[in-house]
Amino acid sequence: MSLYQTPGQALDTKLTFCSLSKQATEYTSTNKQYFMANAKAITSQDFEGLKNTSGTYLFDFWATWCGPCKVMNPIIESLSQDPDLSEINFVSIDVDEQPELAGEFRVQSIPTFMVIKFKGDGTFDKETDIIAKEIGVKSAFDFKLFLVEALKKSNS
């Protein structure tokens, strides 16, 4: 899928809305199981496990009743499979099911997106490990640019 368009060209229409209640798409990273995009909320226990991994993660804070979250869902799903963003692990947190995580990250509006770099040493510092943050609806193009820039920061 290309997120770039020339004047007069329609944006790729392969973006489709996905059900928020579907089963999670699972993948394995260093023998730990995580969930992709808006498929299923992670728990506080999952977050503690992530501290022991190294890598870059997009945290998507959302809720099932949130209209803007539903708009972003197909964009997140599509970008989670974009080869340019393969270094980013996509996870989501349902703020209603995990209010303590939303509180820990001081999420006050949804959707909220945070790009986090874990060092794999079991620690997490909000001041240095959160490398980028966006709130609200963005176009697919703008959101990809946000992720690409965050990935550059993560790798520097």
User: Could you list the active site residues?
Assistant: 66, 69
CA distance 93 to 60: 6
Angle 111-112-117 (CA atoms, 0-180°, nearest 5)?
145
CA distances from 35 to 101, 123, 141 (A): 16, 21, 23
CA distance 134 to 29: 25
* Matching residue, tokens 């998507």: 60
* Matching residue, tokens 């959160």: 130
